[in-house]
Amino acid sequence: MSEEFVSESIMPVAGSCDPAAMSRGEPGLPSGFIWRDEEYTVADVVETWKESGPCRSGGSENYLRKHWWKIRTGNGLEMTIYFERQGRSKRQNKARWWLYTVNRKEVVR
């Protein structure tokens, strides 16, 4: 299976984000999202992890930057998506969900 780098924003399906995660202050992984005008359903979460980094204004603190998920979609594709806790720029402030990689070859179950 070959992994393709994508790095494009995705749009969660309205009302599909996990409210339990959101109540803990974490982003709620959507059960579905739109990418390139096609809707994908999250069928399984394969792996999760978090990424942190130093304070950008020179302080000694470390901040949580991204939440990552390796998922399997309803049609068997494996994708890696992430949520950025802080927007990249004022112009892209609302783009927080990103598709990082996709395996185009379907996974054999």
> Looking at the DSSP assignment, which residues form a beta bridge with residue 98?
9, 82
For tokens 């890696």, what's the residue? 80
Q: Between 60 and 30, where is the model more confident?
A: 30
- pLDDT tens sequence across 14-48: 988 887 777 787 788 999 999 999 999 999 999 99
List, as one string, the DSSP characters of 29-43.
-BSEEEETTEEEEEE
Domain ranges of the chain: 3-103
Structure tokens at 59: 């302080």
| 2: confidence class by pLDDT, cuts 50, 70, 90 | confident
How much is the mean pLDDT over the chain? 85
Contact 70/60 with Cβ under 8 angstroms? no
